[in-house]
Amino acid sequence: MNSTLTTSAVRERLHTLVVIDVRTPGEYAAGHLPGAHNIPLDDLEHALPALREAAGRGDLLMVCASGTRSGNASTTLSSNGIPAASLEGGTAAWASAGGELHRPATTAAPTWAMDRQVRLTAGSVVLLGLLLGVLIHPAFQLISAGIAAGLVYSALSNSCAMATLLGKLPYNRTNRTDLNNTLAALRHN
């Protein structure tokens, strides 16, 4: 089942799908499809044995915010002989179509979605480069030019080095106990 499913197709089949959300734990906590398991894209290789078992019991649906990371996850699974589909448009499309999002009860402040973290970081660095260029030396404006070039490359390659770096920050990392519990749940469902 290496494909992309629309929100209406997922709504009809949700009860038969094993849903894997490949976003960061903070993004997952901000709202995920009902019954989704959180296995961040960075942890996918580690989770392959459990995902292979789960795929033997039901069709896998990979989900992220917009469909890009889940598409990458589906490709990774396919290259490892594990069939999986991706939700077209991700949780954003699901919510826009009226789909329910679950949020775990927590007292911790929610982590921003990765695209919001990237926009804040890129915008801050651009402003800093411009400010330093005006106040200290014009060469500091090269910082802003570097960020602009990185954003253009990100759009053209459909990848984001800044998101990868931000994903390594502690609040975006998976708690190993949580990941192990998720993998155990996948193996026993």
pLDDT band at 173 (very low <50, low <70, confident <90, very high): low
Cβ atoms < 10 Å from Cβ of 80? 13
pLDDT-derived band at 10, boundaries 50, 70, 90: very high
pLDDT, tens digit, 9 for 90 and up, residues 160-172: 788 778 877 777 7
DSSP state of 35: T
Three-class SS of residue 177? helix
Pairing relationship of beta strands 59-63 and 37-38 according to DSSP bridges: unpaired
Query: Strand, coil or helix: what is 62?
Result: strand
Q: Quote the CA–CA distance of 99 and 91 in Å, as a whole number.
A: 9
If pLDDT is split at 50, 70 and 90, which confidence band does 128 have?
very high
CA angle at 130 for the pair 125 and 135, rounded to the nearest 5°: 125
Contact 104, 98 (CB under 8 A): no
Could you tell me which of 161, 119, 122, 165 has the C-alpha nearest to residue 145? 122
For the chain, what is the largest distance between any 2 Cα atoms, rounded to a whole number of angstroms? Answer: 62
State pLDDT tens for residues 57-96: 889 999 998 888 899 999 999 999 999 999 999 998 999 9
- For position 107, what pLDDT does the model report? 45
Going by C-beta distance under 8 Å and a sequence separation of 6 or more, which residues neighbour residue 172?
Answer: 24, 25, 26, 111, 114, 117, 166
d(CA 86, CA 124): 33
**Per-residue model confidence as pLDDT tens digits over 16-37:** 999 999 988 878 888 899 999 9
